[in-house]
């Protein structure tokens, strides 16, 4: 299976940037000077939690597609075995299958 690693890498980068914003929005005190809240703390906390799990899985998919070994996967996530065979892992693996991108651009 050929993979669109660049698309996955860019998606991970955008999620990381969103995590930084959500982390600041979760705070209720000691906000940086000039910071403008974009969402309420409750929904920022929820979104941060959801993004954290998504990033864990996408980092493992990225490492798997690049052919990294088991020791490297353990560095990313100690509980990588439970994620490795999960439905979400397979979903993201299929989502970044490059042959799907080639067929959609050829049409």
Domain boundaries, the chain: 5-26+40-106
pLDDT digit string, tens, across residues 8-66: 999 999 999 999 999 989 888 887 888 888 889 999 999 999 999 999 899 888 888 88
Instruction: Give Cα 103 distance to the centre of its chain.
Output: 25
Count of residues making up the chain: 107
What is the arithmetic mean of pLDDT over 73-94? 82
- Left (φ > 0), alpha (ψ -120 to 50) or beta: where does 30 sit? left
Query: Residue 75: which pLDDT band, with cuts at 50, 70 and 90?
Result: confident
- The whole-number pLDDT of residue 100 equals 54
Give how far Cα 16 sits from Cα of 21, 46, 68, Å: 9, 15, 21
Q: Which residues, including other chains, have CB under 8 Å from residue 16's CB and lie 6 or more apart?
A: 55
Q: What is the pTM of this model?
A: 0.76
Confidence class for position 99, pLDDT limits 50, 70, 90: low
């Amino acid at each position: 299976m050929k993979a669109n690693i660049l698309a996955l890498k860019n998606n991970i980068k955008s999620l990381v940037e969103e995590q930084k914003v959500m982390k600041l929005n979760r705070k209720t005190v000691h906000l940086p000077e000039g910071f403008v809240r974009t969402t309420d703390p409750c929904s920022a906390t929820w979104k941060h939690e959801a993004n954290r799990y998504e990033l864990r899985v996408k980092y493992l998919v990225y490492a798997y597609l690049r052919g990294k070994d088991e020791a490297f996967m353990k560095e990313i996530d100690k509980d990588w075995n439970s994620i490795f065979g999960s439905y979400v892992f397979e979903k993201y693996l299929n989502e970044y299958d490059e042959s799907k991108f080639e067929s959609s651009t050829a049409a």
